[in-house]
Chains A and B, each alone.
Chain A
């Protein structure tokens, strides 16, 4: 207990975990899975959400900025990150966020009841008693219709990642200074990645893993693979632990593996035959078959069985967003409707009804389209779910509150404004996503959008800031505002 509350030795105080927003953790996105399984859920715009191990609270604040009527509570053991978060929340005027320094082992019941509880990157990086306390806390505090999300490195796939940890722990055993550790970790990983042979299957797998790892900021490795505790979990064990606390396993929050029950794939039919009706068993066998390294498990109260049948009308309650740019008729095959999708992907259909729907979704982007009246039959519903599964389309239970047509006195999200003023490159958008603004002039511009300045005022101030003629700025103004609006940074 002393050790845990001893902030001075908390590694998260020494090296800040790179703050980021996790799109999938937004209640409007988490509740999609409740909706698809015909479970009741609280509306994202009026809910209470708790984040356990919230770090500097960036994820929480980003959600809070999209839902001013909802209440957000977050706690973490690292006092410096909580102090940073509090200062930001105050500066951004986010009055619906409460951040505190607290130990999972020592959480007062007075926190109240929550419709959503999220714990990202906690469960597999704490000791067994803390895991137990976390599950107990969820069991105590989750509202009857509540939804909890726990992410963790998954067994047995993560035994491969464990090799990286084995190597780094050993090679860095005598390096205590954190900055030196990071540099040395990179050096060792580069060294081994270069030595591992492509011809040897395991060495090749390790090469890939390390190359993948090196794409992330090194701080992520520091806390994940190199953290003091690293105990990847079996999904079946997590479900069993949840059960002991009056909770049950719903599904995974990652669309790629969260839709298997709803739209059973051909590829997994053998697996389904092996496990019969037990869905947790299916998930475990799925992890054996895919060696999935990461899980984001959704839990709900253990009240009654979950209806995993694919009742397609449930899709009616959802909103869909996605990039679908029609390819001109002469470019696509006759009788086919083709679209360019995210990340230069392509989607094609010969069904004009589906083509119409995708066209409408594409036209509304970045806004979402309500599916209430758009889905006429099961085939269309399944197409939407498949697009969701492969990441071409996102689903949410409510639209996000941002404006595409900025007014005379444009207003940006206060959180993004603050981040821009602080010189950060990654800003939290009102769709609860990260957008990258690398140019200092644009960042300064965003910081000015507090609703007090007219477009004319903005032109004059930017002309002064850049040292350019006002006319030149004025001609670009609409375009810049439009661009920021499409990034979901503006409220009006």
Chain B
């Protein structure tokens, strides 16, 4: 215990703030959708209790809290400065449904209460074994009967390549102590080796790709991940076995693509399924051997009987769908195909089923809002198509729609959390869809801070004209456009 206090006093996360970002897949409405597809109960995201273990500066927790004012959110972390930062943000944003604590996982007790959703992002593989044990114990003691837990970790054996990056970085920074020096040394070192690993050698080529990808991550993230004191990537089968010891069971991964084999068993993976012999976790482990998965976001639930992993399209009826689909003219005239361009990448999706086309059209028209699928899944074909769009990452499924408005009123109101962030000059703002939107220009940020529901559109135009030294008429002319744009990024409340 003394050792613990020592650790707390020199906590690495107190020295370098971990730049937290909302994790869309950890939102109760998103996690719940997966549970629903696997035939499990889930608590309503608008009225639930959420615990985040190792919540850092609260970026994820506060963003979720802003989307569900009726739900209760509890978060704790060992780093005092991070919790102080989170508290200050929560106070400034008036988020009264959030409780933040400085606490060690090993000290957390059942007095925290029972939770419908428990999130531990970036914790499990970066703490020593006793803390991993304490985390799983905490989940098993505080998870509600139909609760869901989110545990993310670097996955073995794919992460052995990340360990190579770590080997090299740790070797290089052994001497330096200054944090800022370490960043510079690490960057130089990674660039050097990314260059040294030129050529066709397959191992060096694989490492080059890994290094280039690693270089794209913020230095502070790298500081805590690859360069952290503890870096113990885990096998999904070990995590599942650990969970089982505590009365929990593996449900699925948060990445929809990893559920593909469950819902649409492929011919090509038939031999792996056969070898797994009905053991789903075993199947996932074998997939990790093939895919060399580097990162996992595992959803756990209570071990109260087998999970029904059959594709049951009627389960979709309970969900809401959101996606960007823009209908295109078919390339060939007189074709009976309906073609849509999905998401930002413009992937084409085509179907000859008119009912399905109509549904996709409705989803696209509602975007960025979600539409209920109740009554829309009229047959297996439609259900499977929607499921495949979800697994392919082209469509989101939610147990409840996010609450925001696309038609701001006379006195527009922005999310209090986003207003707080904007007033602090932060460029990443939390949306009411639990995503992040980048707002880099100071004018837009100032504009957002004004949207507290007290100012009319006219007053907003006057204030922005003053702020930007532009004629009021010009600002007023742009106002509707800007408000519409902000509304579409899910920053406004009706």
**Interface-forming stretch among A7-15, A145-153, A203-211, A251-259?**
A203-211
Q: Is the CB of A159 within 8 A of B290?
A: no
> Do B157 and A163 have beta carbons less than 8 Å apart?
yes
Choose among A171, A191, A201, A208 the residue with the greatest number of B CB atoms under 10 Å from its CB: A201
A159 touches B163 (CB 8 A): yes
The reply to whether B171 and A288 form a contact with Cβ atoms under 8 Å apart is yes
A202-B210, A284-B171 known; A291-B205 Cβ under 8 A = no
Of residues 165 to 209 in A, which have CB atoms within 8 Å of B's CB atoms?
A: 166-167, 170-171, 191-192, 195-196, 200-209
A163 — which chain B residues lie within 8 A by C-beta? 157-158, 160, 292
Which residues of B, 120-158, contact A by the 8 Å Cβ criterion? 156-158
A68 at the interface (CB under 8 A from B): no
Name the B residues within 8 Å of A326 (CB-CB). Answer: none
Stretch at the interface among B196-204, B380-388, B468-476: B196-204
Let me know if B164 and A201 touch, CB within 8 A: no
Rounded to whole angstroms, the CA-CA distance of A201 and B156 in the bound complex is: 17
**Residues in A neighbouring B156, C-beta threshold 8 A:** 166
* A160 and B160 within 8 A (CB): yes
* A161 vs chain B, min Cβ distance (A): 9
A162 touches B202 (CB 8 A): no
Cβ of A344 under 8 Å from chain B: no
Q: Which residue on A lies nearest to B163, using beta carbons? A: A159
Smallest beta-carbon distance A110→chain B, Å: 41
A157 within 8 A of B: yes
Chief secondary structure at chain B's binding surface: helix
Contacts of B158 in A (CB 8 A): 163, 202
Given that A196-B290, A288-B171 are known contacts, is A170 also in contact with B235, CB under 8 Å in the complex?
Answer: yes
Cβ-based interface call for B209 (8 A):
yes
Residue B237 is within 8 A (CB to CB) of chain A in the complex: yes
**A191-B205 contact given A162-B157, A202-B210, A288-B168, CB 8 Å threshold:** no
Q: Is B161 an interface residue (CB 8 A)?
A: yes
**Nearest CB of chain B from residue A204's CB, rounded to whole Å:** 5
**Provided the pairs A155-B167, A159-B164 are in contact, do residues A289 and B205 lie with their beta carbons within 8 angstroms?**
no
Selected contact of B161 from candidates A192, A202, A288, CB within 8 Å = A202
Evaluate contact between B202 and A208: CB separation under 8 angstroms.
Answer: yes
Interface members, chain A 373-399 (any B CB < 8 Å):
none
- Residues in B neighbouring A160, C-beta threshold 8 A: 160-161, 164, 203, 206
Question: With a CB–CB cut-off of 8 A, which chain B residues contact A195?
Answer: 268, 272, 290
Q: How many A-B residue pairs have CB under 8 A?
A: 94
Asked if A305 is at the interface (CB within 8 A of a chain B CB), the reply is no
Residues from chain A with a CB closer than 8 A to the CB of B289 are 166-167, 170-171, 192
Q: Are A204 and B202 in contact (CB under 8 A)?
A: yes
A94 vs B205: C-alpha distance in the bound complex, in angstroms? 49
**B263 within 8 Å of A (CB atoms):** no
Give min CB distance, B173 to chain A, whole Å.
14
With beta carbons under 8 angstroms apart, the residue of B193, B208, B210, B290 that contacts A192 is B290
Q: How far apart sit A235 and B403, CA to CA, in the bound complex (Å)?
A: 58
A473 at the interface (CB under 8 A from B): no
* Interface of chain B residues 242 through 299 with chain A (CB within 8 A): 268, 271-272, 285, 289-292
Which of B156, B196, B208, B235 has most chain A Cβ within 10 Å? B196
Give A159 to B161 CA distance when docked, in angstroms. Answer: 7
Residues A156 and B164 in contact, CB atoms below 8 Å apart:
yes
Chain B 291-314 interface 0/1 with A at a Cβ cutoff of 8 Å (1 = within): 110000000000000000000000
Q: How far is the CA of A162 from the CA of B164 in the complex (A)?
A: 11
Q: Which residue of B lies closest to A209 (CB)?
A: B203
| Cα separation A206 to B157 with both chains bound (whole Å) | 11
Shortest Cβ distance from B287 into A: residue: A195
- With an 8 A cutoff between CB atoms, is A290 at the interface? yes
Given contacts A192-B290, A288-B193, contact A159 B202 (CB under 8 A): no
Our pick among B204, B268, B272, B292 for the contact of A203 (Cβ within 8 Å) is: B292
Closest Cβ neighbor of B160 among chain A residues = A159
B465 at the interface (CB under 8 A from A): no
B207 within 8 A of A: yes
Report Cα–Cα, A270/B289, bound state, in Å.
36
Decide yes or no whether A220 CB sits under 8 A from chain B.
no
| A205-B203 Cα distance, complex, nearest whole Å | 5
A162 touches B206 (CB 8 A): no
The answer to whether A271 has its CB under 8 Å from any CB of chain B is: yes
* CA of A236 to CA of B192, assembled, Å: 20
**In the complex, how many angstroms separate the beta carbon of A189 from the nearest chain B beta carbon?**
11
- Max chain A Cβ within 10 angstroms of own Cβ: one of B157, B161, B204, B237: B157
Name the contact of B204 in the complex, choosing from A167, A209, A290 (C-beta under 8 A): A290
Q: Are B271 and A291 in contact (CB under 8 A)?
A: no
Known: A195-B290, A196-B290. A205 touches B202 (CB 8 A): yes
Question: Cβ of A204 and Cβ of B206 under 8 Å apart?
Answer: yes
Closest residue on chain B to residue A200 by CB atoms: B292
Complex Cα distance A209/B193, Å? 21
Residues of A within 8 Å of B163, CB to CB, are 156, 159
Q: Which residues of A contact B160 (CB under 8 A)?
A: 159-160, 162-163, 166
Give chain A nearest CB distance to B267 CB in angstroms: 13
Q: Which of A159, A201, A234, A271 contacts B205 (CB 8 A)?
A: A201
B residues within 8 A CB of A271? 196
Whose C-beta in chain A lies nearest to the C-beta of B208?
A: A201
B237 pairs with A170, CB closer than 8 A:
yes
A291/B237 in contact, CB under 8 A: no
A195 to B205, CA, bound (A): 19
Q: How far is the CA of A205 from the CA of B206 in the complex (A)?
A: 7
Whole-angstrom distance between the Cβ of B256 and the nearest chain A Cβ: 19
Q: 8 Å CB contacts to B: which residues of A236-281? A: 236, 270-271, 274
Chain B residue numbers with a CB within 8 Å of A192 are 289-290
A-B contacts, 7 listed (Cβ < 8 Å): A156-B168, A157-B203, A159-B167, A163-B292, A167-B157, A207-B202, A288-B171
Q: What is the interface of chain B, defined by CB distance below 8 A to chain A?
A: 156-158, 160-161, 163-164, 167-168, 171, 192-193, 196-197, 201-210, 235, 237, 268, 271-272, 285, 289-292
Task: Add 19 more A-B contacts to A201-B210, A202-B210, A290-B204 (CB < 8 A).
Answer: A156-B167, A156-B168, A159-B164, A163-B158, A170-B289, A191-B271, A201-B206, A202-B292, A203-B290, A204-B202, A204-B206, A205-B205, A206-B292, A208-B203, A236-B171, A270-B196, A288-B168, A288-B196, A289-B197
- Going nearest first, the 4 A-B pairs with the smallest beta carbon separation are A166-B157, A201-B206, A205-B206, A156-B167
